[in-house]
Amino acid sequence: MTEFVVMGLLPNIAADLQPAAWAASPEDAVAGAGWLITLYALGVVVGAPTIAASVAKYPRHRVMLALATALTVFNALTFVLPTFELVAASRFLAGLPHGAYFGIGALVAADVLGPGKRAKGVAFVLTGLTVANVVGVPIGTFLGQQFGWRIAFLLVAAIFALATVMIAFTVPPHAGDPGRTLRAELGAFRIGQVWLTLGVGAIGFGGFFAAYSYIASIVTDVAGSPEWAVPIILVVMGIGMTAGNLVGGHLADLDLKRTLVGGMVLLIAVQALLGLTAQWIVALAFFVFAVGFVSSVLSPTIQTRLMDVAGDNQSIAAALNHSALNIGNASGAFLGGVVIAAGFGFVAPVWVGVGLAAAGLALALVSFRLEARRPSLVAA
């Protein structure tokens, strides 16, 4: 919720924190407010590998508790800070613990479910992200529209505070790896397949975020629907993401390669159809659901692929998936803002997304092709 609720409230945030820019050009103001999405994503990119690698030796349940506390504090800062620049800084800080938090949680779940069900364990944790898009993001968007956008972040901070308490009481003790060091974990970056898989997530998912970041303006300005339709479209997206995530965990355990390649092909197709039909609200809702579904099929697939190719560097591998997705978030939001500011309209980010997804597919094919040429590495 903390990451995605901004997207439904960009026009509200732009009008409140950048009133002069909003008065001159709402499109430019919304594009500028997109930096809040980009900075959060950059916080995840920076924090995920460094924090996960640094804490790999500590008990994982205690690390989760510390990270949940940090997320509570930094989201509370977004609620209280007065200017755009300070709010932007708080978004970067809130992003820092994000990747390590979900990565370590995914490791715990994968270990609990055991061999042959690792992707299902990852998908189980990532279901929290998708449920947030069904319930939390639409509610936060609605409350932000009615009572001011800051209310959404007060709600986020309260949820994180509750989550911190629940982790303390419900997550069982789970040992870290006392022998792991920051230097050892960073050894994952010496593995070529890790870089290729990160590229699939970062570039391919940039396509999803290019469209998602500006969904509020697509609903109101392109489809001509009232503002109250935005939370409904977000619910539709969230339902698609929840269903896709659960299906993706199952399919990845059956055949990870086909799930990854087929998912990227479908992501290209459904985003293209979204771009062609965005002016009709019913078609928009259908293809928003489809984009959410396909993207979430890919999410546990990419994270499991990273864990498979990273060898012993499991803590950093689990967190790096969130770095990759948030590079996609940052680049998608940025490139979407660029084409909007250039005057191509609010549908243009969807076409940026098609191109990025195609590039992600190409990287996936290269990764599997190289792996097939080195069977000894596969066996190892």
For 154-172, the pLDDT digits (tens) are: 999 999 999 999 988 888 7
DSSP state of 188: G
Cα angle for residues 222, 358, 234 (degrees, 5° grid): 40
Query: Three-state SS across 306-347?
Result: HHHHCCCCHHHHHHHHHHHHHHHHHHHHHHHHHHHHCCCCCC
- Position 378 confidence tier, pLDDT thresholds 50, 70, 90: very low
In this prediction, residues 41-69 reach a mean pLDDT of: 84
Q: Which pLDDT score is estimated for 181?
A: 67
For 316-329, the pLDDT digits (tens) are: 776 777 778 778 77
The answer, as to whether pTM is greater than 0.95, is no
- Position 289 confidence tier, pLDDT thresholds 50, 70, 90: very high
Nearest to 325 by CA among 300, 290, 350: 300
For 77-124, the pLDDT digits (tens) are: 999 888 888 999 999 999 999 888 888 887 777 777 767 676 677 777
Can you tell me which residue has the tokens 């909007």?
Answer: 340
Separation between Cα atoms, residue 11 and residue 156, nearest integer Å:
19
Other C-beta atoms closer than 10 Å to the C-beta of 147 total 11
In this prediction, residues 291-295 reach a mean pLDDT of: 89
Separation between Cα atoms, residue 231 and residue 12, nearest integer Å:
14
Q: Which pLDDT score is estimated for 89?
A: 92
pLDDT above 90 covers a percentage of the chain that reads 16
Is the Cβ–Cβ distance between 273 and 347 less than 8 Å?
Answer: no
Q: Which CATH architecture has domain 5-379?
A: Up-down Bundle (1.20)
pLDDT above 70 covers a percentage of the chain that reads 93
DSSP state of 293: H
Helices vs. strands in the chain: H and E counts, helices first: 19, 0
Query: Is pLDDT of 379 > 50?
Result: no
Query: Is pLDDT of 228 > 90?
Result: no
Q: Which of 6-20, 266-280, 361-375 has the highest mean pLDDT?
A: 266-280
